Chain A
Amino acid sequence: MILTIEGLTKVYGALRVVDDVSFTVPSGDIVGVIGPNGAGKSTLFSLVTGFLDAAKGQVNLDRKPIGSLSPVERARSGMVRTFQVPREFSHLTVWQNLMAATPKQSGESLTNLFFRPGRIREEEDMNSQKVDAMLDFLRLSHVAHTPAGRLSGGQKKLVELGRALMTGARLILLDEPFAGVNPVLIEEIAERIRELNAQGIGFLIIEHDLGALTRLVSTLHVMDRGRLIASGVPAEVLANKQVREAYLGGTS
């Protein structure tokens, strides 16, 4: 699944929060976007996934423009996002969080509920096996029946990743998956992302922190004040003088 962004722009009053941003996420690739706080990274995600309307520019999925699609429709077409502040379903258990994300459940119709309970039970059993396997893969089995609201920040990020995977997404947009996560869990999450990528799932990852990201991605884009100021392989980009000034505040 190829994502192409062309000239995406978002304006609040006189402020260009996202300013003429273009890049491509090739099928099955891992691409990173870094930049200081307020660079417009999360806004970019919201524009791509349809949670905000762009002032200008185009978003294409597999070369088809999706600008007129709603967030729900974009997610259904196989591109699913997570949020910077995790949005777990806090009163549902971790297991229920993932079950809820499973697409096309006949038990979501009230009529089926009362007239086809057998079919729903079968489906639930089937989906439950998938969820159990997923929780196993994400090392979340021990908290499967804990309300998601009680998890640590890092675990919540894993739950969001798990939910995105349960939808069957081919491209997952992760908003700061490593922020506020302890170093051990960061390696854990990075490892899971690599394994999933090996199965052909593409990732677009926003990160404020550089460490884990640079080792994960093939291409790195740098945003500053709404604009892309550099793109390329991580080592090159990080050596770029402009990037060092904007992003690292000229410290070294």
Chain B
Amino acid sequence: MEAYLVAMAIITAIYVLLALGLNLQYGLTGLTNFGHVGFFCIGAYTAALMGQIGIPWPISFLAGAALAALAAWPLGLVSLKLRDDYFAIVSLGFSEIVRIVVTSEQWLTKGVQGITGIPKLLGFLGTGLTQSLAVLALLIAVNVLAGLANRRIVRSPFGRMIEAIRDNEEAVKALGKDPAGFKIQVLMLGAALAGVAGGFYAHYIGYIVPEQFIPLITFYVWMAIIIGGVGRISGAFAGTLILMIFLEGSRFLRGVIPFVSEVEMASIRLGIIGLALVLFTLYRPQGLMGDYTKR
């Protein structure tokens, strides 16, 4: 039971990183990134491949973050030219392309078989509860750091400007400020956070396959920040926690309800996430926790 709770806490903490990144992009700047899982995937594969050849995890995680940010750069340039909804489609397509690439380039990624035997994070502590707790502690430290960095950004002139861009981009231009640089930096920063999340994921789970990086993950994260309140840093934490309790709760539920197979349960989970997306858009676009934005 303890092992299970720790495992769940670790996954939650990984998703918090994803949510913090998306919150920066959509919540604060208004960038409709529907391809967040693509950055997660790039970070995971980079860290996994580098880990396999013995490169220490801090370096491989940073490399994953850097590559994810680098991939976000051209996407940021594209975002400057496109309407919100077109950028949403393009970024969704981008994440699918990332998945196609890791599926196809078998010489590097082993294709659909995926990468196995990724060195365990803090493996010198063994494989028991101690190791898991250490990983969790490390993740919490990273979460706190990322949260504080986010807060510093939000409370700075930079944060003020990205919120101004979200509220009215034309007015920002009319004041002689160029939104372009801000948007690209924010997209890259959010991607880097997702890249770090990917590194933790790969090195905690120990194996990765392309199927783990489907668009559904992106919308899990969207759901988390909508539940938590779009644009709120604390919401990224709270929303992710609520989402994870739901996702994991549905696993427990399967033990209680008879005649429901795991495949059916996966469908039901998908349906409930879909329903939540619809209901929140209809009735609570500002999220459960607060009335921060009205979009």
Contact = CB atoms under 8 A, between A and B. Distances in A.
On whether A and B touch (CB less than 8 Å), the answer reads yes
Interface of A: 49, 51, 70-73, 75-76, 80-83, 87-92, 96-97, 99-101, 103, 105-110, 113-114, 120, 124, 160, 163-164, 167
Contact of B176 (A72, A83, A108, A160): A72
B167 A71 contact: no
User: 6 closest A-B pairs (Cβ-Cβ)?
Assistant: A107-B157, A75-B176, A87-B171, A76-B176, A89-B167, A89-B164
B157 A99 contact: yes
Given A70-B173, A72-B177, A82-B174, 16 more contacts: A71-B173, A75-B173, A75-B175, A80-B174, A83-B171, A83-B174, A88-B167, A90-B167, A91-B292, A100-B161, A107-B157, A107-B158, A108-B157, A109-B158, A110-B158, A167-B175
Interface string B173-194: 1111110001001000100000
B152 A89 contact: no
A68 to B, nearest CB: 16
B170 to A, nearest CB: 6
B164 A92 contact: yes
B168 interface: yes
A89 to B, nearest CB: 4
B156 A113 contact: yes
Contacts of B212: none
Interface residues of B, number: 28
A120 B159 CA distance: 13
Contacts, number: 92
Contact of B170 (A87, A108, A164): A87
B196 to A, nearest CB: 16
Nearest to B189: A110
B113 interface: no
Contact of A110 (B153, B163, B177): B153
Given A87-B170, A114-B152, A80 B175 contact: yes
A167 B164 CA distance: 15
Contacts of A160: 171
B294 to A, nearest CB: 8
B52 interface: no
B174 A71 contact: yes
Contacts of A70: 173
Contacts of A110: 153, 158, 185, 189
28 contacts: A49-B174, A51-B173, A51-B174, A70-B173, A71-B173, A72-B173, A72-B176, A72-B178, A75-B176, A76-B176, A80-B176, A83-B171, A87-B170, A88-B167, A88-B171, A89-B163, A89-B167, A92-B164, A100-B164, A103-B176, A108-B157, A108-B158, A108-B177, A113-B152, A113-B153, A124-B157, A160-B171, A163-B175
